[in-house]
Amino acid sequence: AQSVTQPDIHITVSEGASLELRCNYSYGATPYLFWYVQSPGQGLQLLLKYFSGDTLVQGIKGFEAEFKRSQSSFNLRKPSVHWSDAAEYFCAVGAADSWGKLQFGAGTQVVVTP
Amino acid sequence: SAVISQKPSRDICQRGTSLTIQCQVDSQVTMMFWYRQQPGQSLTLIATANQGSEATYESGFVIDKFPISRPNLTFSTLTVSNMSPEDSSIYLCSVARGAGDGYTFGSGTRLTVV
């Protein structure tokens, strides 16, 4: 069965600084990988997804993520954070053979300081 | 991506009662899902809503407690039955058109049971 680990429960970053959120997955074959963001009181918004091909994926709001099969990782990055990036970020994995089901990580809460 | 209208956005209900949540999509989608997000937690898949047949429930979730309907390719309902305070959560509808599509989430229904 697939699983997702987000090692960092909480990250504080200064506005303008770079941000990297870690995500490790466990799955026997190539997974489908996603990053979602949830602002307070809001639903989930898809930032980016990886299905196949280029391992560096560009998303919305200036985010990117890199799929590293050897490390079973799909880390999310942003070069310069804005105060509006303060939110909860979820990594999720889906299986190609039962792609309807997403397994979510526990989430990482990002706080942006002035 | 698909646009989802989820209703109600929030509700406060008495224990022992039931609440039906609606999920309307602006276009036909292959897959529809219902997730639960308990306070401060990540998302857990409740079930896959299948058009014209019974929903497929995940471990720990049963039809008597969470009956689901999906009469067509654009609409689904989730009922939370005989509610208790432990059912206080955000319930989210999610859809995907097909393989290669991202998963779009509704804005969620914030349920409080008193």
CA-based radius of gyration for chain B: 13
Note the pLDDT of residue B69: 96
CA distance A90 to chain B (A): 8
Backbone phi, then psi, for B31, in 5-degree steps?
-115, 135
* Alpha-carbon separation of residue B4 from B8, B27, B46, B72 (angstroms): 12, 9, 18, 15
Q: Is the pLDDT of residue A28 over 80?
A: no
* Disruptive mutation site among B92, B105, B109, B110 for chain A (greatest number of A CBs within 10 Å): B105
Note the pLDDT of residue B77: 97
Among chain A, residues having any CB pair with chain B shorter than 8 Å are 34, 36, 41-46, 49, 51, 90, 92, 94, 99-102, 104-107
Question: Please, what is the average pLDDT of chain A?
Answer: 91
Give the closest of B1, B42, B99 to A90, CB-based: B42
Query: Cβ A46–B102 below 8 Å, yes or no?
Result: yes
- pLDDT tens digits for B78-100? 999 999 999 999 999 999 877 66
- pLDDT tens digits for A86-107? 999 999 998 766 656 788 999 9
Burial track A12-22 (b if 16+ CB lie within 10 A, e otherwise): ebeeeeebebb
Question: Please, what is the average pLDDT of chain B?
Answer: 93
